[in-house]
Chains A and B, each alone.
Chain A
Amino acid sequence: MAMEFGYIITKENNNYVYIRGDKKIEVPQGLIIEELPILSINENVTEYFGIVLDPPIYVNEDEKIKVYVKLPLDIGIYVTNRSKYKLIDRIEIYPKKYALYGNIGNGVIYRYWKTSASFEKINTNRHEALTAIEIINEAESIGAISRIIFDFNNFSLFTKDDIVCGELIQLNRLKKGLAVVKLTNKPSLEGSKLIPTIPLKILGGEFEMRFGT
């Protein structure tokens, strides 16, 4: 995979070395260089990731449903001591687009990812994360869900049998135009192992969608 994307992780004099084009990074003993999947986003532009469901998912009042989507993954190159991880490079697999949620005064810019949702588990490739979304409609009306936004910094990835899956996302539709997106700390596929680059959170992981879903 490394050669395919034009980078190498190797060892020179017992030290890990990362080479990509003219870039060469060598780390001292005690640190290693590792490639791990990372959600496809540019943190310099925004920290929010938005799943745009096309077509939207309709949820009956007082009903709870679960759908599956594929999220795009880049390759993250990390320096690690197996406890802490530091991203040193990112191999971009997907072109990125961004959009504004809300208005220019109070909104946020989010990484725009348009996808369809399925009520069944779907097959993914090595650059996609299977992610389950639980939609709970507590509003007294039928909900049309076409947008789910969350903070990328709190979104953990997991792995099971070489399949990467995202954290289970819960969207609670409170009333028309208002919902809360919660990252649940649980993997979308049961029995998956945490990829420790983004550890599970003790607090936080919620995003209030005040401008509709």
Chain B
Amino acid sequence: MNIALQTLGLETIWEYIKLYQNYIEAILAITISVIIARQITKMIRRRLHEKAPVHVIQNISKVSSYIIILIGLAVAVRQLEIPGIQLTELLIAGGFIGIVIGLAAQQTLSNFFAGILLVVERPFKIGDFINYNNNVGMITDIGLLSTKIQSFEGFYIRIPNSELFNSAVINYTSSIARLVRIQFTIPFEADVKRVVETLLNKFNQQWYILVEPPPTVFPVQFLENGIQMEARAWTAGKTWFQLFSSVALLIEETLKELGIPYTYPKRIITEAK
């Protein structure tokens, strides 16, 4: 008897399922799309954690989940076969609206997609020092539409992402090693070899100057007021500013130690009798 009841119950359920099949499929489509959207949101957050700013991650995950849920809704509408709502018509209408919005917000969309590409390609990251069109500073934010840099003077510069993506940008921080070169002039009377040796010795004592490639100091040319010298030293990308800000001081100290005076333009005027 029990078996008969169970059979009857299953049959009834099956009939109901068949009767409301479209509705069940529609609910399933929406449920599955929501689950997938949630999983994708989690995956995006995990992958982009500490690689992109929080609001960029939030925007990307939101857009992705909306797209997936919209696909789920489209499938659900198709299953329900609601009279008066045709999926093809919806798609055409959606496409038309898309074109209108696309044309109206062409520049904004260009910045938006450039922002996504900047996050994916990562030509720079937050904290890097860059030079864009002679705007030098540290990246403080990579937004979906624009990137903000803080200049050495402390003011903020906002650059649209499409401009950054399509232009040459110098990234000072991503370099593994960097060369700093500086030219200085010593008087003709100075002992060039001694200047070279002493300065190299001083360079080699600095922890931030690389052993390889080795630093070099050499005479470049003879000027009106003395011999022009060039000093070159390599440092790790992370210690570039340490070297950049100290190399002139090191040269000045060395010249002082050697008793070599600063050179300046001289004229010897001979008075005719």
Contacts and interface: CB of A to CB of B under 8 A. Distances in A.
B212 A112 contact: yes
A109 B175 contact: no
A164 B4 CA distance: 80
Range class of the A interface residue count: 10 to 19
Nearest to B237: A109
B177 A104 contact: yes
A46 B207 contact: no
Nearest to B204: A97
Range class of the B interface residue count: 10 to 19
Interface string A94-125: 01111111001101110010000000000000
A147 B208 CA distance: 20
Interface in B183-218: 207-208, 210-213
B176 A98 contact: no
B239 A100 contact: no
Given A104-B176, A109-B177, A97 B211 contact: yes
Contacts of A44: 238
Given A95-B207, A112-B211, A112-B212, A100 B177 contact: yes
B239 A99 contact: no
A107 B236 CA distance: 11
Contacts of A203: none
Contact of B239 (A45, A95, A104, A105): A45
Interface in B228-252: 234, 236-239
Given A45-B208, A109-B210, 10 more contacts: A96-B207, A97-B210, A97-B211, A98-B208, A99-B210, A100-B210, A100-B213, A104-B177, A104-B178, A112-B211
Interface of A: 44-46, 95-101, 104-105, 107-109, 112
20 contacts: A45-B236, A46-B236, A96-B207, A97-B207, A98-B208, A98-B210, A98-B211, A99-B210, A100-B176, A100-B234, A101-B212, A104-B176, A104-B177, A104-B178, A107-B176, A108-B176, A109-B176, A109-B177, A109-B237, A112-B212
Interface of B: 175-178, 207-208, 210-213, 234, 236-239
List 3 A-B pairs, minimum CB-CB distance, nearest first. Answer: A99-B212, A99-B211, A109-B236
